[in-house]
Structure 1
Amino acid sequence: MSPDKNSQTMKPLTAAAKLGIYLPATPEDFRSSPVTRAQLEELRTNPPQWLQDLRRTGPFPRDVTAHKLGVTNSALSRNGIPDALTTEQIDAYLADPPEWLVKERENLVEVRKEAERVKTKEAERRAATNRPRKNY
């Protein structure tokens, strides 16, 4: 018989990633002990005040920050943006976007357009090769 899956634990870093929060901003007791699946589910369904505050005001991890700014994680790194930003800092970037942010957003739009073009072209190529051949 297999053990109860809820007894499995994960590192605090993994739990923070699953919750979409920045680990260094969490309380010490969260950072210092493993988190069970049951505890993680409880945090998701009934978040304590500290988790609600982190989700509302941050600081947010790099991937969440990148998403909120509409750029990639690499764009943040290229432009020297710290690993975590608060809602206030993100709002300031959005209210008055610096030149690098405008360029990175435009670049991301172009990259996505190109990826879609390549995907469509590849689908068309596959469809053409899968057509039955006519025998004359």
Structure 2
Amino acid sequence: MTSHQTTQTMKPATAAKKLGVYLQATPAAFQEGVVTRAELNALQADPPEWLRELRRNGPHPRPVVAAKLGVSISGLARGGVTEALTTEQIEALKTENPEWLQKERATQAEVRKETARLKEKKRAEAEDEGAA
């Protein structure tokens, strides 16, 4: 019995997400086709100029925008940012530092602090159980 290995493919939206780029800004050929796992690996290993340019200057998808601003995706929405932003627009927001951004950054810092506290508590409890 021989096994036929099928080529694993993904939709362009999935590939764009894995590459961390905004799908609508990618070339038409990328948006209209399917991407194989091998093609995705090749794009990650040796990105073509269009991919390097998108990663450098955007427009960036919301998860990337949120990370660059140090806020959550929900925080972006609360701040009224619902579209992809370019690196230049992100830098302008950082410089402007509106009140909503300050508030969301503080919220995100609290979330990180609480997550670290819970992780430490869980580790300590596991240690205590191991010692008992």
Q: Same fold (TM over 0.5)?
A: yes
- 2:85 aligns to what? 85
- Partner deviation per Cα, 1:1-35 (whole Å, 9 max, x = no partner): 54446x22110011101111000111111101101
CA RMSD after TM alignment: 1.7
- 1:21 aligns to what? 21
- Partner deviation per Cα, 1:33-84 (whole Å, 9 max, x = no partner): 1011222122222322211211111000111110000111110111210231
CA 1:120–1:48: 2 relative to 1, 3 Å: closer
Is 1:115 equivalent to 2:123 in the alignment? Answer: no
Cα distance in structure 1, aligned partners of 2:128 and 2:43: 50
CA 1:128–1:2: 2 relative to 1, 3 Å: same
CA 1:117–1:46: 2 relative to 1, 3 Å: closer
- 2:67 aligns to what? 67
Cα distance in structure 2, aligned partners of 1:97 and 1:15: 32
Instruction: For 2:84, give the aligned amino acid.
Output: A
Q: Which runs of 5+ in 1 are unaligned?
A: none
Q: Which runs of 5+ in 2 are unaligned?
A: none
Identity of paired residues, percent? Answer: 52
Equivalenced residue count is 131
Find the residue that maps to 2:122 and give its secondary structure. helix
CA 1:24–1:117: 2 relative to 1, 3 Å: same
- 1:43 aligns to what? 43
Segment drifting more, 7-16 vs 35-44: 35-44
CA 1:45–1:125: 2 relative to 1, 3 Å: closer
Cα distance in structure 2, aligned partners of 1:105 and 1:115: 15
- For the pair shown, the structure with the greater C-alpha radius of gyration is 1
Instruction: For 2:50, give the aligned amino acid.
Output: W
- 1:98 aligns to what? 98
Cα distance in structure 2, aligned partners of 1:72 and 1:2: 45
Cα distance in structure 2, aligned partners of 1:130 and 1:42: 45
CA 1:128–1:48: 2 relative to 1, 3 Å: closer
